[in-house]
Structure 1
């Protein structure tokens, strides 16, 4: 039995030989990565350089876009290297670094969506109290907690897994995962299992409950404003599920691509003031 610090590398067995197709897959993944980076960098720049967009909703979006860059950086370059490589190995330090990036990204993503849903809940359900509730100090605190709590929790997670005694170095995945490391352990992993369960509940389940609650309240307001008595029950269920589940997940794309303020700011940034004004003016 050896300590994980003595394991020089892990072997990823989920990859298989695809011959010359690996270059096609490489180009596809590379294009997807470039698209992710380009779109998120553009939206971050638009929000940062336009003071009119320095409002809570857009600041939370900016935090979300930064997290998308962070998460993609922890995964896509690694995938690109592995696609072209004939030997699918990853060094132990890089493996734990990837675990940190992927897990903290996922936790920040869900928590950021929960904060965004809370912001929309206050704006729609308590519009008169919105400015006094979502102050600059509170927005800054929410963004700081959105990042600090997941990062701290993930550091603890990796710190518990790194010292484990391992009986092997084979991972049946395309990238490193904490549970895959724990399964290789020869020592007692009770603390790791309990902490992993608690971390999942706190970082994933709790924010999802907040998202469901806030959008449920927003849906109640929609029902009070429109007569849904003639809506078929099945359609009402579908609409409820959409607002409660899909809408929070689609918010980043909807805000980034469809909001007039961001569209106009993108035009000004990319085309200049005159071109943006000409595009906005009627023919």
Structure 2
């Protein structure tokens, strides 16, 4: 990757207000990151170590947790270092890598949530065909697409950004984002804007419409069935619905912050810009861990076995 601009690093100006209470923010951020790592790692371990959970629904959930760890690794360590530093600087290469990870994480999250909606749709609306449709090879293909397609799209975005000559090196953020870097360009950025909006539309709207469609079908089927059937469907669908709405709202905040001019206080802008990296990674495993009974049972078994072994 060749940097054709004279800019070799960026100064992150979003830390100005955070520096007033940097130790408090450092403690909150560190605890948040530890919680994310623990919650997602525990869920991944439970699913991987228990063959009973080697079903599509839990495999997709495991993928969602892996994606959370992937997305936050480019954000939290750097943020923790910057909170305790006098100067918040990031190299051009590190900034591009951070953009790549953040954007591919966000796109993969949408893809995985869409795949999970499809899985729930087949399970509830076509239960007799579930095993025939959701084969091991098909599940692998869905996961491959959910991860590789976002990587391909983000690669296009990064390629367009790295061709630009930059005339500035100050980002009004606490982490790098593509639009902030593009705005520093001395060149015409029309192509970047058009491609960026197209990729945004492709990433957000097809999954949104598909998920709405699947849940309309699920609701239609549930209405026609017994209360017990509706209860079972409700328990498996609620975590997914909450996860999708939560992530969509957080991404919407990021779009509003990066693309639109707002008059909200600077600290609120900062929170809006990073919510998709803060809330979903810790909330998703907690939601699924509490709502999906099979995971809760397995976690209880692990805790009981550990206590028995310690008592011996």
Same fold (TM over 0.5): yes
Alpha-carbon offset, residue 183 of structure 1: 0.8
Residues 121/19 of structure 1: CA separation in 2 closer, same or farther (3 Å cut)? closer
The C-alpha deviation readout for 1:206-239, integer Å capped at 9, x for no partner, is: 1111111111211222333489xxxxxxxxxxxx
Alpha-carbon offset, residue 80 of structure 1: 1.0
- Any unmatched runs of 5+ in structure 2? 228-237, 247-283
What is the 5 A alignment of 1:166-205? 166-205=166-205
The C-alpha deviation readout for 1:228-275, integer Å capped at 9, x for no partner, is: xxxxxxxxxxxxxx9996464467543222322112222333431885
Residues 72/244 of structure 1: CA separation in 2 closer, same or farther (3 Å cut)? closer
**Given that residues 216 and 244 in structure 1 are in contact (C-alpha distance below 8 angstroms), is that contact kept between their aligned partners in structure 2?**
no
Determine the structure 2 residue equivalent to 1:223: 223
Alpha-carbon offset, residue 50 of structure 1: 0.7
Distance 2:173 2:180 in 1: 8
Distance 2:74 2:133 in 1: 35
**Given that residues 268 and 275 in structure 1 are in contact (C-alpha distance below 8 angstroms), is that contact kept between their aligned partners in structure 2?**
no
Residues 86/4 of structure 1: CA separation in 2 closer, same or farther (3 Å cut)? farther
Larger CA deviation: 193-202 vs 107-116? 193-202
Distance 1:200 1:162 in 2: 19
Does residue 271 in structure 1 map to residue 304 in structure 2? yes
Larger radius of gyration: 1
The C-alpha deviation readout for 1:175-221, integer Å capped at 9, x for no partner, is: 11100111111112222112111111111221111111111211222
Report SS of the residue matched to 2:10: strand
Over aligned residue pairs, what C-alpha RMSD do you find? 2.4
Determine the structure 2 residue equivalent to 1:64: 64
What is the aligned residue count?
260
**Given that residues 70 and 105 in structure 2 are in contact (C-alpha distance below 8 angstroms), is that contact kept between their aligned partners in structure 1?**
yes
Determine the structure 1 residue equivalent to 2:162: 162
Alignment TM-score, normalising by the size of structure 2: 0.77
Alignment TM-score, normalising by the size of structure 1: 0.84
What is the 5 A alignment of 1:1-283? 5-18=5-18, 21-225=21-225, 246=242, 248-249=244-245, 253-272=286-305, 275=308
Distance 1:19 1:274 in 2: 43
Distance 1:244 1:264 in 2: 19
**Given that residues 5 and 166 in structure 2 are in contact (C-alpha distance below 8 angstroms), is that contact kept between their aligned partners in structure 1?**
no
Larger CA deviation: 213-222 vs 15-24? 15-24
